[in-house]
Structure 1
Amino acid sequence: MSSIRFNRRTFLEFAGAGAAAAVLGGCSDGEGESSTGTRAIRWWHIANTDPMLSQWAAMASRFETAHPGVKFKITPLENEAFKTKLTTNIQAGDPPDIFHTWGGGVLFQQAEAGMVKDLTADVGGWKDTLIPTALDAYSSGGKTYASAVDTGMVGFWYNKELFARAGVNAPPATWADYLDAVRRLKAAGTTPIALAGKEKWPGHYYWAYLAMRVGGLDALRQAAADKNFSTPDFVAAGTRLAELVALQPFQTGFLAAGYSTADGQAATVGNGKAAMELMGQWAPVVQRDNSAGKKGLGDKLGFFAFPAVDGGKGQGTDVFGGGGGFAVGKDAPPEAIEFLKFIAQPENARIEAKTAGVLPVVAAAGDAVTDPNLKLVGKALAASTGFQLYLDQAYAPAVGQQVNDSVAELLAGKATPEKVAQAITTAAKQG
């Protein structure tokens, strides 16, 4: 089987007070039907704190009640720990029965290795209840390998008060305006941007968005097909990012900073020590839960889409991001697929939307979104003209990792735009 190397991109970290007693700790090396007739379902997910830690456990319990003989063995894991553990199990040919996925090239490599079930026919039973693009990240070659749970996009989350103090009275609409806003913030004594340089994946958002704005979505797709990221558009994207780096906009020590740590990217914004961050729809929750007193910015927090680039081929309404879903391991019992259908029911999707602060993919559950920040993201998604999955998930794992690594070098001032483009091209050709 092929070796699968996962990308270093953290997704949504839910907030909460601690582990739920209802979750069954650990996981079993065995699976399937036991001598007593009990069918064990190993479920690995990344909601390792409340509220969804408890909510997922409660949904599993309700499913067990309706399906006598089924018993869940739930393993909640922090994102990076999840990736490491999943890689080990898949390389050993032993995937969990149900496990979190971000889709894209990582999932499709798992499918090529025969580690996940083809869910095309099964998902057809509830596909029409989902928003139109819900399964795009999990489908390839006419086949679907996971069911979607939530969706979203990356954009700038900013401190309205700090912007106003610096004389930035409106969100920047163009890259030139954005650079000017950074200069104004610095002149006002404010750190413009918080960045988790240590984790690399947040930095790739900048290069990816600039590539979208400069070259357009078709350029990203064509580069993947041609295995060539060294065209002028990608070099230009790096050049635009280098313009930002030259302004030294990030917090002191950003290269060693994590994302959701006490002094990391989210906390820096949540505590009002930086004016903005480029992050997904989960940002307000993580800011709040890593800030002093777990208060966050409250109504001082705003959101705006990544600005357009003058002369670029991409549209300013094209968005970048992704969501989460669940894949089913190759040896999973039939009830594992039934469970995916169960959590896709509107009443269950509404629970996640209400308690976890995410955008549901079940169309009927949209009415459960009450958070004003999520409504802003939802509005931007509704008006979008195109969508690009995170590059470290959309592309083959080795290519996605190289994007993260090379952009991190550019942000650290150790690589030129040309070197970044060439390194990614080399990884694509070798893969």
Structure 2
Amino acid sequence: MRFMASYDLMETMRNTQQWLGASASSLGSYPAFALVPNPALTMMSAWGEVTERAFKRMVTKPGWNIHSVACADGRDHLISIEKVIERPFGDLIHFEVQGRETMPRKVLLVAPMSGHYATLLRSTVVSLLPDCEVYITDWHNARDIPVSEGKFDVEDYTLYLVDFMKELGPDVNVIAVCQPAPLTLAATAYLAEIDPDAQPSTLTLIGGPIDPDATPTEVTDFGNRVSMGQLEETMIQRVGAKYKGIGRRVYPGLLQLQSFITMNLDRHSKAFSEQIFRVSRGESTDGDPHNRFYDEYLAVMDMTAEFYLSTVERIFKHSEIASNTFTINGHQVDIGKITAVAVKTVEGANDDISAPGQCVAALDLLTGLADEKKASHLEPGAGHYGIFAGSSWRNNIRPLVLEFIDQNAAKPKPEAKAAPAEKPKKAGGQPNLTAVNS
């Protein structure tokens, strides 16, 4: 109960800040106060508006907000979201472009489960939609999953990916962004052993910690500075009574958000103070750069305790992927079994989360893969976010990834055509021997 009380305390503090912001905004905007112009009241209203929005977003799952996309035919096509597979901890969803023929490129985006929702990859999805059939893993917030659904750790995550790949078939091209890169590599290797015909055509790993010790950063080295006991004592809580997952052990999103903001406290403080002044001057809108960024950044989700702890212990502390000793249900996965899937790694030269060297380490593990099926790219000047959603992705990386897919994607097997039926004999008893070429 102690950990449930601390979870509820954090939610109470968040709720209180949201209420204070709403109250300040309403009070400062009271019509009667307009008779006595006072900059303090204007600033109070602006502070309240920014504060209420910020704390409200922390418990709100963002929408995809992708309504249409312009295609090669010059028309805007509406987008509908379809669930291909529904599971307790995450779904496989498809962005259906209405009125457009199925595109030959089929792409599965594997979204991170590292505190933010899959909507963090919204701009990545938008950039791929005109040229691809896009699928994505949509992970659920652990606080909304009843305890009766059981556990969810790194092995369960990997098996979800295996099932998603098998569902989409061998012509799918997988792109894993950041945190899931090691587990996506393991899932591909697992398929190579148990169901080779279900392997994807290509695998692109973007900024993932395949070998965190290759070039340690403050983020990837965190697991080596603390013991598992310390992590469990300080980071793990139980979901409170407000949510469906009451009693589930989680790494709370609010606690994760505190860590995110602390890493760049000065930058975030400056951003919010400047936004308050913009609101006071009437220069802010719902779609301004600050709100677009922080509506997504502040929306955090709880991770199951077993997923967070097993990630730290197995991926970072014991380097099971880097040492090729990862197991699933007692079966050791051998990354060297990948022999047919073309693999490309992408890194950002200025990435301070998964520094250059961590992701490209995957290529050394692919001992059974021919060199011509391996590729890597280091994007100059790009940080972590830029390699999958910023200008570096749009202008440089995306074209390279699509080119890699086109060069290595499995060619569909031509369907066997039935032999043409023999035509009736002409008068005189001679058959019509005209051949039909196809």
Say which one has the larger Rg. Answer: 2
State the TM bucket, normalised to the shorter chain: under 0.3
Instruction: Tell which has more relative contact order, 1 or 2 (C-alpha 8 A, sep 6+).
Output: 1
TM-score by length of 2: 0.26
